[in-house]
Amino acid sequence: MTGEELVTLAERAAENAYAPYSNYHVGAVLLLKDGRTIEGCNVESAAYPLGVCAERTAISKAASEGVRPGDIDAIGINASPCGGCRQWLHEWQVERVYFRRADGSIADYAPASKLLPDTWDLP
């Protein structure tokens, strides 16, 4: 699957976002190495800091189905991932990251650690 296709799927996944506070709808789609795709969207809370980003929703769904770091080929997102999600993408060893830039172009990073210079890992 191309980056453009994954980001298009993420744009569709963003339609399920629960974002009544920010009204900023984010979707993320994982492509697993076994070919499965897993979607996520942001889920906000009236207690604002408890909201969850789309990327972490998708990874949490995958983890709860037994997916482990190293099983994820790629992720498509309809927006640039925040710093916290970059740490998750690094933890989960996502091999390719695609997202839609504000100017409409597709950003392409491989692997996810490229989005996080001097990555932190538990010593």
Residue 67 Cβ vs ligand THU, minimum distance, rounded to whole Å: 19
For the chain, what is the HEC assignment? CCHHHHHHHHHHHHHHCECCCCCCCCEEEEEECCCCEEEEECECCCCHHHCECHHHHHHHHHHHCCCCCCCEEEEEECCCCCHHHHHHHHHCCCCEEEEECCCCCEEEECCHHHHCCCCCCCC
Q: State in angstroms the smallest separation of the CB of 90 from ligand THU.
A: 14
Does 67 participate in binding ligand THU (rule CB under 6 A)?
A: no
Contact between 82 and ligand THU by CB under 6 A: the answer reads yes
Question: Which residues in the 11-40 window bind ligand THU by CB under 6 A?
Answer: 19, 22, 24, 26
55 binds ligand THU (CB under 6 A): yes
Calpha distance 23→75 (Å, rounded): 23
Binding residues for ligand THU, total number by CB under 6 A? 14
User: Which CB, 67 or 115, lies closer to ligand THU?
Assistant: 115
7 binds ligand THU (CB under 6 A): no
Task: Catalog residues that contact ligand THU under the rule CB under 6 A.
Answer: 19, 22, 24, 26, 42, 44, 51, 53-55, 79, 81-82, 85
